[in-house]
């Protein structure tokens, strides 16, 4: 199956431009739709006039610049970060079933966030706590697993991530148990489901640099990352310093994921499923996989967030929509590709 | 070129073998034989520096392998592991180009010269037609040939192969053994493990017989591979039979003798 799709170079070469064009179209559509519908002409005028508003219509300028653009930017940023990190982790673990949070980054970020909410922290420090918690969880997992011997390093790493994630999950449950059920618990539940509703330009400015740095490192190492798809012995025999390379990839992918999760909360599925779709189209070579996965992840996240706020009168958390869409899509992929991921 | 002195090998706390001393020069081939579980793969991994030696030393041109960084090792050794089904569907050409990693800087991507080296390696093994296929779709034997091609693309002076003919059909086996002969003539130092004493006799200068965690014999192939030694190595009575044209083959004595 995969061969039919990837056997010729033409669709592979066109995949990235098509994904980027779709992303641009989606972004324009997303600025227009919502409770206060705008025409493309209104949007373009507001974009031309800049955030100051120039004069025509302050309401339109405010909606475009203060509300919709930050939210769109954040959805694009988080979608790209999760999909790119998912592609990197799948290659690194030689396992197409892992997601960006396999090493506990989401669980760590969630625990950081809920503890901050419990402590009554301001919104900015919730994000900072989430970011710190996500990074700390992955540092703990990698340090602990490097002390353990006896299995292949990759297997040890995944197992350590799973058990540490379980422990963090228990911590989250405990915080929910002791949280104030009228104010804090809803905030915690809302955060854990993920949302772009409260996005501001400041969120975007805070999350963009770590995401960009993470993705830049992955892009720079792209061809080497293919070597990590080989068994450890083989990659080392080919001259790769797998310990250093693995640490760099884990660091870069975790940085991007943690920054995304910190501003959006937990949005599952995108990091698992988008790398599969991208791999079906361009094959597993990371140099072509990474940009396509990032573009498709951004487009999917934006489409889902736009649908979440525009389709129903009550806004749905995007995490619920990604799960509802992601499950059948993933099963369809599984049935379609057989062993040929 | 490759000097192994009094080597003890295995895993930390789990010794597998000891007292292995050998020397392979440029343009020479060493065959490693031993029953299942005798430690052939573990020995090869130790030679490659992928496992630390438990005692003794492995040196390449006088330099201890343990001291070398991965890239320095990969410039000296190319490794052909036993074939396995890879998790991702790389094309054959992509898989073989990975052999060029050691010639590329950390942030570089393979250039035309690397792709040409990969295609040459495939041509050398007569599998140029596989270049665009996906490694996940190949037969075990084809994948084995691809791994050998990757090692050739790596262009290292020492070639270490773990049962390179194990999953090959009759024709491909002959093709790979002939290629090993050719590489030896080109000046490579070659170490391969095998379950076929005949292959060792016909294609290796020296043979190491591993049994019970130590070397039963390590000598010129003719001297190490006697009917007596091979019988002891595998625990079955074996005759070395002259089949004419200056060739000999090992034959297990009649089934009755096995009882």
Rounded CA separation A231/A19 (Å): 32
Rounded CA separation A163/A158 (Å): 9
Given a contact cutoff of 8 angstroms between Cβ atoms, the answer to whether A43 and A76 are in contact is no
Mean pLDDT of A22-43: 90
Higher pLDDT, A80 or A203: A80
Task: Pick B98's closest partner by Cβ from A96, A222, A238.
Answer: A238
Mean pLDDT of A146-151: 75
Q: What does the pLDDT read at residue B84?
A: 82
Main-chain phi, psi angles of A45, to 5 degrees: -65, -45
Given a contact cutoff of 8 angstroms between Cβ atoms, the answer to whether B4 and B18 are in contact is no
pLDDT digit string, tens, across residues B13-65? 888 988 999 999 999 999 999 988 889 999 999 999 999 999 999 999 999 99
Nearest to A78 by CA among A237, A335, A271, A217: A271
Q: How many CB atoms lie within 10 A of CB B238?
A: 21
Rounded CA separation B144/B146 (Å): 5
Q: What does the pLDDT read at residue A341?
A: 43
Rounded CA separation A82/B53 (Å): 42
Rounded CA separation A222/A245 (Å): 11
DSSP A259-299: HHHHHH----SHHHHHHHHHHHHH-S-HHHHHHHHHHHHHH
User: In angstroms, how far is the first alpha carbon of chain B from the final one?
Assistant: 45
Alpha helices in chain A (DSSP H): 2-6, 9-32, 40-49, 58-61, 69-92, 105-118, 123-147, 153-178, 184-193, 201-220, 222-227, 232-237, 242-264, 270-282, 286-310, 318-337
Interface residue ranges in chain B relative to chain A, Cβ cutoff 8 Å? 12, 45, 48, 50, 69-71, 73-75, 77-79, 81, 84, 86-91, 94, 98-99, 101-102, 104, 106-110, 132, 134, 136-137, 150, 154
Rounded CA separation A145/A159 (Å): 9
Task: Pick A285's closest partner by Cβ from B50, B78, B94.
Answer: B94
**Per-window interface: A 261-280 vs B, CB < 8 A:** 279
Query: What's the gap in Å between the CA of A236 and the closest CA on chain B?
Result: 6
Q: What does the pLDDT read at residue A75?
A: 95
Structure tokens that stand for A206 in this block:
């805070």
Q: Give ∠ CA B180-B186-B187 in degrees, rounded to 5.
A: 95
Radius of gyration, alpha carbons of chain A = 20
At residue B194 the predicted structure's pLDDT band, cuts being 50, 70 and 90, is very high
Say whether pLDDT at B235 is over 70: yes
Q: What's the mean pLDDT when you consider all of chain B?
A: 91
* SS3 category, B55: strand
Bridge partners (DSSP) of residue A230 are none
Tell me which of A187-196, A302-311, B202-211 is least confident: A187-196
Q: What's the mean pLDDT when you consider all of chain A?
A: 87
Say whether pLDDT at A2 is over 60: no
Q: What does the pLDDT read at residue B72?
A: 93
Higher pLDDT, B258 or B35: B35
ipTM beyond 0.85? Answer: yes
Given a contact cutoff of 8 angstroms between Cβ atoms, the answer to whether A80 and A299 are in contact is no
Q: What does the pLDDT read at residue A6?
A: 43
Say whether pLDDT at A151 is over 70: no
Are A237 and B109 inside 8 Å of each other by CB? no
Closest residue on chain B to A231 (Cα)? B86
Say whether pLDDT at A57 is over 80: no
Place of tokens 């058990």: A163
Mode of pairing for the β-strands spanning B14-24 and B28-34: unpaired
Higher pLDDT, A202 or B254: A202
Tell me which of A49-53, A247-251, B153-157 is least confident: A49-53
Supply the pTM of this predicted model: 0.88
């Amino acid at each position: 199956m995969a061969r039919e799709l990837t056997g010729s170079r033409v669709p592979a070469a066109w995949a990235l431009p098509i994904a980027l064009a779709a992303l641009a179209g989606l972004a324009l559509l997303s600025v227009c739709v919502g409770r206060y519908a705008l025409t493309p002409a209104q949007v373009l005028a507001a974009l031309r006039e800049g955030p100051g508003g120039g004069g025509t219509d302050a309401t339109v300028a405010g909606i475009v610049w203060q509300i919709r653009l930050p939210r769109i930017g954040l959805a694009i940023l988080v979608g790209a970060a999760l999909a790119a990190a998912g592609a990197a982790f799948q290659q690194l673990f030689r396992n197409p079933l892992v997601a960006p949070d396999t090493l506990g980054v989401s669980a760590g970020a969630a625990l950081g966030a809920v503890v901050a909410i419990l402590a009554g922290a301001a919104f900015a420090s919730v994000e900072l706590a989430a970011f710190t918690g996500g990074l700390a969880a992955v540092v703990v997992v990698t340090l602990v697993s490097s002390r353990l011997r006896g299995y292949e390093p990759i297997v040890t790493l995944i197992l350590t991530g799973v058990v540490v994630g379980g422990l963090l999950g228990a911590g989250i449950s405990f915080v929910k148990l002791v949280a104030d059920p009228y104010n804090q618990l809803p905030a915690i539940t809302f955060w854990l489901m993920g949302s772009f509703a409260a996005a501001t330009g400041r969120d975007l400015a805070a999350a963009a640099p770590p995401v960009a740095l993470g993705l830049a490192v992955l892009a720079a190492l792209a061809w080497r990352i293919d070597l990590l798809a080989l068994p450890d012995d083989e990659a080392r025999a080919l001259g790769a310093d797998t310990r250093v390379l693995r640490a760099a990839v884990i660091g870069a992918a975790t940085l991007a994921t943690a920054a995304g999760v910190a501003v959006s909360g937990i949005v599952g599925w995108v990091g698992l499923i988008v790398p599969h779709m991208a791999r079906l189209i361009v094959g597993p070579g990371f140099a072509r996989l990474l940009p396509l996965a990032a573009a498709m992840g951004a487009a999917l996240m934006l489409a889902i967030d736009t649908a979440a706020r525009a389709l129903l009168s009550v806004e749905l958390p995007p995490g619920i929509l990604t799960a509802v869409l992601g499950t059948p899509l993933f099963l369809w992929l599984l049935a379609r590709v057989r062993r040929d991921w | 070129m490759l000097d192994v002195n009094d080597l003890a090998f295995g895993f930390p706390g789990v010794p597998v073998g000891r007292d292995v001393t050998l020397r392979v020069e440029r343009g020479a081939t060493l065959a490693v034989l031993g029953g299942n579980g005798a430690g052939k793969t573990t020995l090869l991994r130790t030679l490659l520096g992928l496992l630390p030696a438990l005692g003794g030393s492995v040196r390449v041109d006088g330099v201890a392998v343990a001291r070398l960084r991965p890239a320095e090792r990969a410039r000296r050794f190319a490794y052909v592991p036993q074939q396995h089904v890879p998790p991702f569907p790389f094309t054959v050409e992509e898989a073989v180009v990975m052999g060029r990693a050691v010639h590329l800087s950390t942030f570089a991507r393979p250039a035309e010269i690397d792709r040409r080296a990969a295609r040459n390696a495939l041509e050398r093994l007569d599998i140029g037609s596989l270049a665009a296929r996906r490694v996940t779709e190949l037969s075990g034997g084809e994948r084995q040939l691809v791994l050998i091609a990757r090692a050739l693309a790596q262009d290292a002076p020492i070639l270490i192969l773990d049962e390179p003919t194990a999953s090959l059909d009759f024709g491909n086996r002959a093709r790979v053994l002939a290629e090993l002969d050719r590489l030896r003539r080109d000046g490579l130092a070659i170490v391969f493990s095998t379950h076929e004493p005949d292959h060792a006799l016909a294609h290796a200068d020296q043979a190491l017989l591993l049994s019970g965690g130590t070397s039963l014999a390590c000598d010129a192939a003719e001297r190490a591979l006697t009917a007596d030694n091979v019988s002891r190595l595998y625990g079955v009575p074996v005759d070395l039979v002259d089949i004419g044209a200056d060739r000999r083959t090992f034959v297990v004595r009649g089934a009755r003798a096995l009882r």
